[in-house]
């Protein structure tokens, strides 16, 4: 098995366990923003898309990369935007009360 | 700067991004620190994107900049949708995330073939299969949530066998490719079969199971990104994908528990079709109904009111009227709380977001376990557009399809009022004995209009 795979597997296992521990603590109140935030973070795939598109190896790979840039970047922008909007609402509730 | 130094700088920016991602999730644990979490997430992602643009491998900028702008132009409107449209927006974002992961995997295949090792081919194959099925599955889910597609499960005989064979076909194609990575037409076939399987996976799953499906697709989208990280040996993708995948997975487990069902049951059970036996309870029974002014009178006389919202509140867009009702009752010194079932609505946390949008303080929004002890001391439980999650048959009737599902014990309140459009059964088609109890009053009508009517009678409201 390639060494790269083993090191990626290490990182994956650690990150997955860390993810479980962190996400278990997120209040059910915020499960919708949680989903939109993790979506936005997941959109970091855009960095891989930029490299594939930017390497310009074949016409096909560039085209696929560019579509991936648009799709993942829209997720990044939209995901953060809506998470921010949702959390503002939760804050407003608190501020009004106190 | 030398290429090596640039590369190291980029690597450090990715490490910084990973730290940001972890802090973002950590700070999301409470509404107080959550805003900080989003900010650090934004900074982390921004740093990673900007650093990547300096990668020496990137030689052509024009189209990248153009597509980034296109992406932002699509993302902004998707970030500004109404709160009631958040479930379908979320499904769309799973689709986009999975699409980009799948496309990058496909590009890697075409760049690498025919020199891919067996190991690389399996990585790419799995990544592309999961990405593709998540893409079409999420599109179907979004279509159902947007009500472009029928919300009821679409089923046919032998469906599970056909679906599973389709998945098996995709895997067999991948195994052939492992030996012969140069068969590009087989790769294309594998992608098509995986796309098809995504459609088959979600089509038979209906409305009330949507929270679980959305969470599962969330998890798949995350894991496809993590697998892409394996393919490209990119640790930042592995971490982001693992966090997203773990999040979706936990939410799926929570949703399944809240419905007392297993994953396999959600995926292969098609909730809507097994309910035929429940029809037997539909004998002639009388219900008591009330008008808005009667309901207002009962509410005004109460000390403690618990409001239980469901998908019907979202459909009727009644959350702002509910807020007026909350204000009117609170002004009279009545204690008003909200009892929120984990699967109320169409995605995890759906009700909380709608009520927060209507400015209801979030400390009044209580989870099922927190509120259930309160019902015996509650004067009025007001149910707005929720059905199955309040069905006492889940506790008592062994023959009920939802037996064992944790519910909100609204039947223990002194008076129960249910706002409902008609006596038609809920999504699952299960009769609800709650409606025939002596202490239950049915308030027939559109949730928004009816709550508005109650508010007018109470002399509150903003109009």
pLDDT of residue B78: 93
Say whether B384 sits in a helix, a strand or coil.
Answer: strand
**Residues B187/B177, Cβ–Cβ less than 8 Å:** yes
Q: Which of A79-83, B59-63, B78-82, B147-151 has the weakest average pLDDT?
A: B147-151
Phi and psi angles of residue B380, each rounded to the nearest 5 degrees, phi first: -130, 125
Handedness of CA B197, B200, B203, B208 (dihedral sign): negative
Question: Does A28 contact chain B (CB < 8 Å)?
Answer: yes
C-alpha distances in Å from residue B30, one per residue of A31, B190, B249, B313? 11, 43, 20, 25
Per-residue confidence band for A21, with pLDDT thresholds at 50, 70 and 90: very high
Query: What is the arithmetic mean of pLDDT over B366-382?
Result: 92
Asked if A85 lies within 8 A of B72 by C-beta distance, the reply is no
Handedness of CA B369, B22, B218, A84 (dihedral sign): positive
pLDDT of residue B404: 85
Asked if B248 lies within 8 A of A87 by C-beta distance, the reply is no
Query: What is the arithmetic mean of pLDDT over A14-36?
Result: 93
Q: What pLDDT, in 10s, does the model give residues A35-71? A: 999 999 999 999 999 999 998 889 999 999 999 999 9
| Binding-face residues of A in 31-60 toward B, CB within 8 A | 31-58, 60
Query: What is the arithmetic mean of pLDDT over B56-73?
Result: 92
Side-chain half-sphere CA neighbours of B189 within 13 A: 15
Q: What pLDDT, in 10s, does the model give residues B334-345? A: 999 999 999 888
Is the confidence at residue A95, as pLDDT, over 70? no
Judging contacts by C-beta atoms under 8 Å, the chain A residues touching residue B340 are 28
C-alpha distances in Å from residue A44, one per residue of A74, B149, B211, B301? 11, 31, 25, 54
Q: Which of B10, B32, B68, B74 to mutate to test the interface with A (most CBs of A within 10 A)?
A: B68
Average pLDDT, chain A: 90
Query: What is the arithmetic mean of pLDDT over B276-296?
Result: 69
* % of chain B at pLDDT higher than 70: 94
Q: Which of A23, A37, A45, A64 to mutate to test the interface with B (most CBs of B within 10 A)?
A: A45
Q: What pLDDT, in 10s, does the model give residues B102-129? A: 999 999 999 998 889 999 999 999 999 9
Say whether B3 sits in a helix, a strand or coil.
Answer: helix
Judging contacts by C-beta atoms under 8 Å, the chain B residues touching residue A84 are 35, 38
Q: What pLDDT, in 10s, does the model give residues A69-90? A: 999 999 999 999 999 999 988 8
Determine the distance in angstroms separating the CA of B422 from the nearest CA of chain A, rounded to an integer: 29
Nearest CA in chain A to B338: A29
Query: What is the arithmetic mean of pLDDT over B225-246?
Result: 95
Is the confidence at residue B192, as pLDDT, over 90? yes
Q: Which of A78-87, B53-62, B97-106, B179-188 has the weakest average pLDDT?
A: B53-62
Per-residue confidence band for B278, with pLDDT thresholds at 50, 70 and 90: very low
* Residues in contact with B93: Cβ distance below 8 Å, sequence separation at least 6, in sequence order: A36, A39, A75, A78, A79, B78
* Residues in contact with B404: Cβ distance below 8 Å, sequence separation at least 6, in sequence order: B260, B394
Is the confidence at residue B459, as pLDDT, over 90? no
Asked if B31 lies within 8 A of A27 by C-beta distance, the reply is yes
Asked if A19 lies within 8 A of B71 by C-beta distance, the reply is no
Per-residue confidence band for B285, with pLDDT thresholds at 50, 70 and 90: confident
């Amino acid at each position: 098995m390639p060494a790269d795979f083993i090191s990626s597997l290490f990182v994956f296992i650690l990150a997955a366990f860390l993810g479980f521990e962190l996400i278990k603590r997120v209040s059910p109140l915020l499960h919708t923003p949680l989903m939109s935030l993790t979506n936005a973070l997941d959109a970091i795939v855009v960095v891989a898309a930029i490299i594939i598109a930017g390497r310009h190896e074949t016409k096909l790979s560039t085209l696929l990369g560019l579509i991936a840039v648009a799709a993942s970047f829209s997720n990044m922008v939209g995901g953060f935007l809506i998470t921010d909007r949702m959390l503002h609402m939760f804050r407003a509730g608190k501020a009004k009360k106190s | 700067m030398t290429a090596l130094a640039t590369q190291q700088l980029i690597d450090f920016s990715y490490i910084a991004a990973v730290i940001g991602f972890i802090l973002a999730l950590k700070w999301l644990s409470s509404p107080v620190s959550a805003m900080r979490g989003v900010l650090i997430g934004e900074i982390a992602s921004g740093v990673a994107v900007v650093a990547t643009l300096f990668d020496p491998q990137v030689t052509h900028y024009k189209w990248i900049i153009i597509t980034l702008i296109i992406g932002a132009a699509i993302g902004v409107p998707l970030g500004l949708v109404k709160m009631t449209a958040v479930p379908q927006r979320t499904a769309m974002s799973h689709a986009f995330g999975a699409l980009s992961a799948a496309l990058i995997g496909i590009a890697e295949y075409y760049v690498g073939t025919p020199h891919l090792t067996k190991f690389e081919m399996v990585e790419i194959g799995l990544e592309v299969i999961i990405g593709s099925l998540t893409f079409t599955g999420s599109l179907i889910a979004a279509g159902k949530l947007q009500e472009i597609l029928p919300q009821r499960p679409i089923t046919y005989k032998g469906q599970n066998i056909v679906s599973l064979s389709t998945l098996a076909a995709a895997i067999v194609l991948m195994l052939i490719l492992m030996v012969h990575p140069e068969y590009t037409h087989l790769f294309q076939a594998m992608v098509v079969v995986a796309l098809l399987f995504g459609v088959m996976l979600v089509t038979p799953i209906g409305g009330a199971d949507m929270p679980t499906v959305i969470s599962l697709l969330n998890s798949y989208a995350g894991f496809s990104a993590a697998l892409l990280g394996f393919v490209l040996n990119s640790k930042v993708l592995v971490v982001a994908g693992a966090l997203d995948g773990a999040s979706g997975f936990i939410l799926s487990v929570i949703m399944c528990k809240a419905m007392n069902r297993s994953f396999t049951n959600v995926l292969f059970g098609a909730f809507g079709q097994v309910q035929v036996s429940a029809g037997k309870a539909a004998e002639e029974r009388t219900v008591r109904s009330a008008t808005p002014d009667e309901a207002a009178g009962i509410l005004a006389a109460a000390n403690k009111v618990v409001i239980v919202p469901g998908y019907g509140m979202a459909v009727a867009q009644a959350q702002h009227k509910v807020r007026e009702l909350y204000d009117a009752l609170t002004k009279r010194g009545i204690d008003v709380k909200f009892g929120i079932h984990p699967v109320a609505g169409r995605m995890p946390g759906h009700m909380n977001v709608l009520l927060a949008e209507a400015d209801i303080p979030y400390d009044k929004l209580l989870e099922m376990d927190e509120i259930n002890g309160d019902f015996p001391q509650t004067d009025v439980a007001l149910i707005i557009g929720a059905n199955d999650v309040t069905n006492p048959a889940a506790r008592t009737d062994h023959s009920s399809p939802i037996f064992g599902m944790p519910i909100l014990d609204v039947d223990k309140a002194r008076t129960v009022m249910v706002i409902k459009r008609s006596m038609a059964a809920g999504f699952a088609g299960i009769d609800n004995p709650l409606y025939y109890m002596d202490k239950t009053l049915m308030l027939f009508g559109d949730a928004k209009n009816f709550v508005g009517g109650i508010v007018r009678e109470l002399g509150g409201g903003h109009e």
